[in-house]
Structure 1
Amino acid sequence: MAIPVETFFLDPDAQGTLQAQIQQMIAEGILSGRLAKGERLPSSRRLAAHLGVSRITVTLAYTELQANDYLTARDRSGFFVSQNAPEPPRFAPRHPKQDRIDWSRALGRRFTGGATPEKPQDWSRYPYPFIYGQADPRLFDHANWRHCALRALGQKDFQALTTDYYDQDDPQLIEFIARHTLPRRGILAEPDEILVTMGAQNALWLTAQVLLTQRRTAVVEDPCYHALRDILTQSRCHLTAVPVDHDGLPPGALPERADVIFTTPSHQCPTNATMPLARRKALLARAAEMEALIVEDDYEFEMSFLAAPSPSLKSLDRDGRVIYVGSFSKSIFPGLRLGYLVGPRPFIREARALRASVLRHPPGHIQRTAAYFLGLGHYDSLIRRMSGVLAARREAMEAALAEHGLRVAGRGVFGGSSIWMRASEGADMEAVDHALRVRGVLIEPGAPFFHGEAPPRNFYRLAYSSIPAAKIPAGIALIARELALSRQAGWP
């Protein structure tokens, strides 16, 4: 790879001859890693013209660097960064960084400090990854996704690839969502009632920004999706957490007044509780009494391999008070970052305007690729294949948990991809998690899902979306062993 000549500049305050300055500039680039081994430098003629120096000056600098093994010359090809170039730093930075800004005063608002945990990026190297929301390469239909991506790059789809939609979306994707995805949840919507988002989390953020102010009150489930709680905390609204039970969010426990209720009725996050139909109707009635809106996060409804999912809240809504959040990132792959909002026109209009001011729209090529993948039937085939595999993994997980006597706190009625677990009182699952990582096991401690300054630490989540069924028994055995050792030691 050739190094662009535009990346080279001489420091006007530098000391020494021009030749020495050029040598130091290139050597520092190599030692800092900015110029990689094997990359080709600009020709002496081009670099001399760019820097405004004589060609012989650049040639002498190159020759000296070659003598010191920073560069190597190839016949008729020029100079390249040597494979033997020294790596230890030899030069102090010419512009030492001196941050004189008092950032404690300069920052108008802070967005760090939330409860969202950090998941290891190298999760796939662990033999027993019981972590949620990662794509399993053994299940993903890579060949057909690549085919759809190449089709979306074709001349026929040039407009979809290059057009600035401004505040609009790919009409093919919107049509599929309206005609195929939403009817499966009993929802009928027009195109101007649908907005494509950068995943469900972006949809939740847009919703919070549009609906909430510092004077309004939001209700969340406890425990709940930790990123949602971070979003609502950042919005500065009043926040009330309502404990869930084995049927999800209890309408009778709602506060006397609330403006927006966030809920995951079909597959409560993270307990996996499924809200019965009677409670769904009661929740809608209670929201009507309070004149509150409901935001329904319907994640993972596709993973209903045990039985058909319950009707969505949105399908039961007759007042237009339910805003529906869906996502393809869970079912296709998380890096896709493609979700959607469904709601009344006035709400979608404002959410669309806000999205346009932040990111305009999700990339057209991604939308068109997803539209082809969905429309050509590859998505349905993927879901069927995943459902069969997840059912087998769920069975293996249930058997292993029962064998080792581990306590299940919540499991999906219709399927899903994880099981909510509860260890003995006094257990610190974050400490257990650290100990298990040494043994190649990844779990998710449950504390970040809970509201409050002192959340229970003995809950944890085990996902089976990224681990083969054959490895589940051995992984569960390691978890049971570590829990037993920690219990004998008196817990951390």
Structure 2
Amino acid sequence: MSIPVETFFLNPEAQGTLQAQIQQMIAQGILSGRLRKGEKLPSSRKLAGHLGVSRITVTLAYTELQASDYLESRDRSGYFVSNNAPEPPQFAARHPRQDSIDWSRALGRKFTGGATPVKPRDWWSFRYPFVYGQTDPSLFDHANWRHCALRALGQKDFQALTTDYYDNDDPQLIEFIARHTLPRRGILARPEEILVTMGAQNALWLTAQVLLTQRRTAVAEEPCYHALRDILTQSRCHLAPVAVDRDGLPPEALPESADVIFTTPSHQSPTNATMPMGRRKALMARAREMEALIVEDDYEFEMSFLRAPLPALKSLDTDGRVIYVGSFSKSIFPGLRLGYLVGPEPFIREARALRASVYRHPPGHIQRTASYFLSLGHYDSLIRRMGQVFARRRKVMEEALAGHGLGVAGRGVFGGSSIWMQAPDGVDTGELDRRLREKGVLIEPGRPFFHAAEPPGSYYRLAYSSISSERIPEGIARLATELALMR
């Protein structure tokens, strides 16, 4: 690889001859790792013209660096960073810096400090990854996704690939969502009532920004999706956690001051509780009575492999009270970052304007690729295949958990991809997680899902979406052994 000539510049405050400055500039680049071994340097003529010095000055600098084994010369090819180049630093930093800014005062707002779990990036290298929300390569439809991506790159879709939609979306994807995805949840919506987002989390952020102020109160389930709690905290609204039970969010426990209610009725996150139809109707009536809005995060409704899911809250909405959040990221692959919002046109109009001021719209090529994957039936085939595999894995996991007498705190009525667990009293699942990693087992401690200042440490989540059925029993056995030791 050739190093661009624009990479090099002389420091106007540097001391010494031009030749010495060029030598130091290149040597520092090598020692800092910016210039890597085997990379080709610009020709002496090109670098001299770029720096405004004579060619002989650059040639002499290259020759000295070659003598010091920083560079090597190859016949008729020029100079390259030597494979034997010294690695220990020889120079002080060119621009030593000591910040004089008091960032504790300069920052107008802080967005750090949330409880987002830290998951290893190399989770796939663990033999027993009970990790939630990742793609199992053995299930993903590589061939058809690649085919759809190539089709979206074709001349026919040139406009979809290259157009700046401003604040709009790919009409082909919007049409599929309106005509195929939403009707499966009992929802009818016009294109003006649908907005494509960068995943469900982005949809929740847009919703919170549009609906909440410092004077309004948001209800969040306890426990809840940790990223939602961070979003609501950052919005500076009044946050009212409401504990869920085996049927999800209890309407009678909602505070009178609630303005916006965030809920996950199909698969409560993280307990997997499913809200029955009677409670759904009661929640709608209670929200209407309080003149509150409801934000329904309908994640994982596709993973209903035990029986058909209940209709979405949005399908019961007769007065435009429910904002619906959906996503393709969990069911296709999380790196897709593609979700959608459904709501009354005045709300979508404001969310669209906010989105446009942040990132305009999700990339057109991604939207068109997804629309092909959906419309050609590949998505439905993927969901069916995942449902069949998840059903087998869940059965194996439940048998293993029962065999070792481990405590299950919640499992999805219709399916899902995880089981909510509770360890014996006195066991801290954060410590349990650290100890299990040494044995090749990954679990998800439950603390980040709770709002309390001192959240309970005994809960944890086990997902079966990223681990094969064959490895589940041994993974659970290692978990049970470690729990027994910690008890």
- What's the counterpart of residue 343 of structure 2? 343
Matches of 1:232 and 1:75 in 2, distance apart?
Answer: 63
Mapping 1:242-391, distance limit 5 Å: 242-391=242-391
Match of 2:81 in 1: 81
Please tell me whether residue 125 in structure 1 is matched to residue 128 in structure 2: no
For residues 232 and 271 of structure 1, the distance between their equivalents in structure 2, rounded to whole angstroms, comes to: 20
Q: For residue 349 of structure 2, what is the amino acid of its counterpart?
A: R
Partner of 1:223: 223
Gap runs ≥5 in structure 2: none
Report the counterpart of residue 447 of structure 1 in structure 2. Answer: 447
What CA distance in whole angstroms lies between the structure 2 residues aligned with 1:479 and 1:370? 38
Instruction: Give deviations 1:413-465, integer Å, cap 9, x for gaps.
Output: 11100000001122110011111111111100001101110111000000011
1:13-55 deviation per Cα after TM superposition (whole angstroms, max 9, x unaligned): 1111111111111111111111111111111100000000111
How many angstroms does 1:399 deviate by?
Answer: 0.7
CA distance in 2, matches of 1:2, 1:434: 44
Letter in 2 for 1:468: S
Distance 1:327 1:468 in 2: 24
Q: Distance in 1 between matches of 2:444 and 2:480?
A: 15
Aligned residues: 487
Q: Quote the residue 1:178 is aligned against.
A: 178
After TM superposition, give the deviation of residue 257 of structure 1 in Å: 2.3
1:150 to partner: Cα distance:
1.2
Q: How does 1:140-179 map to 2 (within 5 A)?
A: 140-179=140-179
Once the 2 structures are TM-superposed, how far is the Cα of residue 2 of structure 1 from its aligned partner? 0.9
Q: 2-side partners of 1:117 and 1:434: how far apart?
A: 13
> Which residue in 1 is equivalent to 2:5?
5
Q: What SS class does the counterpart of residue 296 from structure 1 fall into?
A: strand
Moved over 4 A (4+): none
CA distance in 2, matches of 1:146, 1:97: 47
Letter in structure 2 aligned against 1:361: H
Distance in 2 between the 1:140 and 1:43 partners? 47
Q: Report how far residue 86 of structure 1 moved.
A: 1.5
What code does the residue aligned with 1:79 have? Answer: Y
1:430-469 matched pairs, under 5 angstroms: 430-469=430-469
What secondary structure sits across from 2:470 in the alignment?
helix
**Whole-angstrom CA distance in 2 between matches of 1:316 and 1:354:** 28
Pairs within 5 Å for 1:14-93? 14-93=14-93
Q: Displacement of 1:78 after TM fit?
A: 1.0
Q: Does 1:208 align with 2:208?
A: yes
How far residue 71 of structure 1 moved from its aligned partner, in angstroms, is 1.2
The alignment-based identity, stated in percent, is 82
TM-score, scaled to structure 1:
0.98
Supply the distance in 2 between the matched residues of 1:49 and 1:467 (Cα, whole angstroms): 58
Structure 2 CA distance for aligned equivalents of residues 202 and 279 of structure 1: 28
Which runs of structure 2 are paired with 1:133-144 in the superposition (5 Å)? 133-144=133-144
Q: Verify: 1:480 aligned to 2:480, yes or no.
A: yes
3-state SS in 2 of match to 1:294: strand
Point out the more displaced range, 60-69 or 8-17: 60-69
CA–CA distance in structure 2, aligned partners of residues 363 and 118 of structure 1: 28
Distance in 1 of aligned mates of 2:81 and 2:420 = 53
TM-score, L = length of structure 2: 0.99
Q: Distance in 2 between matches of 1:177 and 1:434?
A: 42
How far does residue 213 in structure 1 lie from its aligned partner after superposition?
0.4
Output the CA distance in 2 between the equivalents of 1:462 and 1:16. 63
Distance across 1 between alignment mates of 2:401 and 2:36: 50
Deviation at 1:75, TM superposition (A): 1.6
Partner of 1:425: 425
Q: Kindly state the Cα deviation for residue 97 of structure 1 after the two structures are TM-superposed.
A: 1.7
- RMSD of the alignment, in Å? 0.7
Give the distance between the partners of 1:481 and 1:171, measured in 2 at CA.
Answer: 54
* Partner secondary structure for residue 14 of structure 1: coil
Q: What's the counterpart of residue 113 of structure 2? A: 113
Residues in 1 aligned to 2:290 and 2:470: alpha-carbon distance in whole angstroms: 50
Output the CA distance in 1 between the equivalents of 2:139 and 2:268. 25
Equivalent position SS for 1:470: coil
Partner SS state of residue 455, structure 1: coil
Q: Look up the SS of the partner of 2:202 in the other structure.
A: helix
Counterpart residue type for residue 323 of structure 2: I
Query: 1:118 Cα shift?
Result: 1.5
For 1:429, the aligned partner's letter is: T
Residue 157 of structure 1: CA displacement?
1.1
Q: Residue 155 of structure 1 aligns to which amino acid in structure 2? A: Q
SS at 2:204 equivalent: helix
Displacement of 1:119 after TM fit? 1.2
Alpha-carbon distance in 2 for matches of 1:477, 1:115: 29
The equivalent of 1:99 in structure 2 is 99
> Equivalents in 1 of 2:463, 2:416: separation in Å?
9
CA distance in 1, matches of 2:145, 2:17: 56
Deviations 1:233-259 (A, max 9, x none): 000101100000000001111112210
Match of residue 237 from structure 2: 237
Note the alpha carbon deviations across 1:158-216, whole angstroms, 9 max, x for none. Answer: 11111111100000110110011101101000001000000000000000000000000
Tell me by how many angstroms 1:376 deviates.
1.0
Q: CA deviation at 1:304?
A: 0.8
How far apart in 2 are the matches of 1:161 and 1:66?
Answer: 47
Distance 1:444 1:261 in 2: 26
- Opposite residue 456 of structure 1, the aligned amino acid is P
2:90 aligns to what SS in structure 1? coil
Distance 1:82 1:371 in 2: 49
2-structure distance, mates of 1:451, 1:16: 60
Q: Deviations over 1:371-401 (max 9, x none)?
A: 1111111111111111111111111100110
Amino acid at match of 1:214: Q
Partner of 1:490: none
**SS of match in other structure, 1:352:** helix
CA shift at 1:11, angstroms? 0.5
Q: Return 208-217 or 141-150, whichever deviates more.
A: 141-150
> Distance between the aligned counterparts of 1:361 and 1:227, measured in 2?
22
SS of corresponding position for 1:469? coil
| Separation in 2, partners of 1:160, 1:20 | 52
Task: Find the aligned partners of 1:369 and 1:100 in 2 and give their Cα distance.
Answer: 48
Q: Deviations over 1:285-340 (max 9, x none)?
A: 00000000000000001111111111100011111100000000000000110000
CA distance in 2, matches of 1:280, 1:235: 27
